[in-house]
Amino acid sequence: MNLIEFLKEKQLSILFHLLSLLIISCIFYLYNENGSLVIVINLISLFFFFIPLGIEYYQLKKYYDEIKNISKQIKEKTYIADIVEEPPFFSGKLFYNILKEATKDMNDCIFSLKNSQRDYNDYIELWVHEIKTPITALKLILSNHKTTENILIQEEILKIEGYVEQTLYYARSSTLNQDYRIETFTLETVVDLAIKSLSLSIIRANGNIHKDNLDLKVTSDSKWIVFILKQLIDNAIKYRHSSLKISFIAKKLENGTLLLISDNGIGIAAADIERIFNRGFTGTNGRNYVKSTGMGLYICKILSQKLGLQIGVDSQENIGTILKIYFPDKLKIFQ
């Protein structure tokens, strides 16, 4: 609040006070009173009018400036009513009490929603762990009876397993700071784990894998990186031309390490490039080639950001796609 705004708010009171002084002056003039006396009376009246106004302005400005400063400093704005003190002026007290009640109701609602979300996430995690048991049993049964039909069934079960895993990681993405283990490892370690997990699908796609310079070390959560790589490999398999060709190349940069995952697939339309990491976005390829949920790359983006990594894409239609993951040397997680 500045002085001009305060005076504009009080302009009606000021106008009526000045009008009253004018009327009083006219009355004194009609009764032939001394002009100097009229001036002195007006000055005294103005003095005792503007002094309380100045005090009120000082109180208001001090109080609202304090609220603005507190609001800038705290992240949880809903706690501001619990931090600021009750104002000394009546109108402020009324507003303060209303704000405090409204804030309490809002915080109660937020607390209830967070509890519901936590319960839901706990249920999803429990469901995922429970569903893995019959999936593993089916895989064992099929592996012991290798027929053409069973191999096809096993491939579909792997897809189910992939979607279940995607559900688990999405549920955990909001509580990543409670479920992470930061360590240093080579890129070859996580790339090999991701490839091994999807080996059957890669073989079915006649996959040709090229690796280069993956002995470079990075610092992150290996489990979450494997999941991200699996999502990228799975996309390369889905959107391949015929036989899959995929390469993993690492480069050491000045302040970090860059991992490039390249494929020879159908590429991404130029109009879709900017939106492929958006939640639920399937794009032209997702509609025309395979059924897509539009969640895989979205989850990869969320996890990368929370792990302090950067993920990007370059692509040309009918030529291929390059996914880039940047691992900074100085890791800043959960931003």
Residue whose pair of structure tokens reads 């990075």 in the numeric block: 218
Q: How far is Cα 301 from Cα 171, in angstroms, rounded to an integer?
A: 14
How far from the centroid of its chain's Cα atoms is residue 324's Cα? 21
pLDDT values of the chain reduced to their tens digit, one per residue, 335 residues = 677 777 777 888 888 888 888 888 888 777 766 677 778 878 888 888 888 888 888 888 887 788 788 777 777 777 777 777 777 777 777 777 887 888 888 888 888 888 888 888 788 878 887 888 888 888 888 877 778 788 888 888 888 888 888 888 887 777 665 667 889 999 999 999 999 988 888 988 899 999 999 999 999 999 999 999 999 999 899 888 888 999 999 999 988 999 999 999 888 888 888 888 888 777 766 666 566 677 888 989 988 988 889 999 998 888 889 999 999 988 765 54
pLDDT value of position 179: 66
pLDDT value of position 50: 83
Backbone angles phi, psi at 249, to 5 degrees: -125, 130
**What's the whole-number average pLDDT of the chain?**
83
- Full DSSP string of 191-226: HHHHHHHTHHHHHHTT-EEEEESTT-EEEE-HHHHH
Contact between 207 and 246 (Cβ < 8 Å)? yes
Q: Where in the chain is the domain with CATH 3.30.565.10?
A: 185-328
Q: What is the DSSP letter of 182?
A: -
Two tokens at 51?
Answer: 């002094």
Question: Tens digit of pLDDT for each residue in 119-150?
Answer: 887 888 788 878 888 888 888 888 777 787 88
Q: How far is Cα 256 from Cα 15, in angstroms, rounded to an integer?
A: 67
Please provide the CATH number assigned to the domain covering 185-328: 3.30.565.10
Q: How far is Cα 36 from Cα 30, in angstroms, rounded to an integer?
A: 15
Measuring CA to CA, how many Å separate 306 from each of 106, 171, 174, 178? 27, 14, 9, 12
Of 245, 221, 223, the closest CA to residue 233 belongs to 245
SS3 242: coil
Of 231, 237, 195, 187, the closest CA to residue 212 belongs to 187
Question: Tens digit of pLDDT for each residue in 302-314?
Answer: 889 888 899 999 9
SS3 260: strand
Of 235, 237, 192, 195, the closest CA to residue 214 belongs to 192
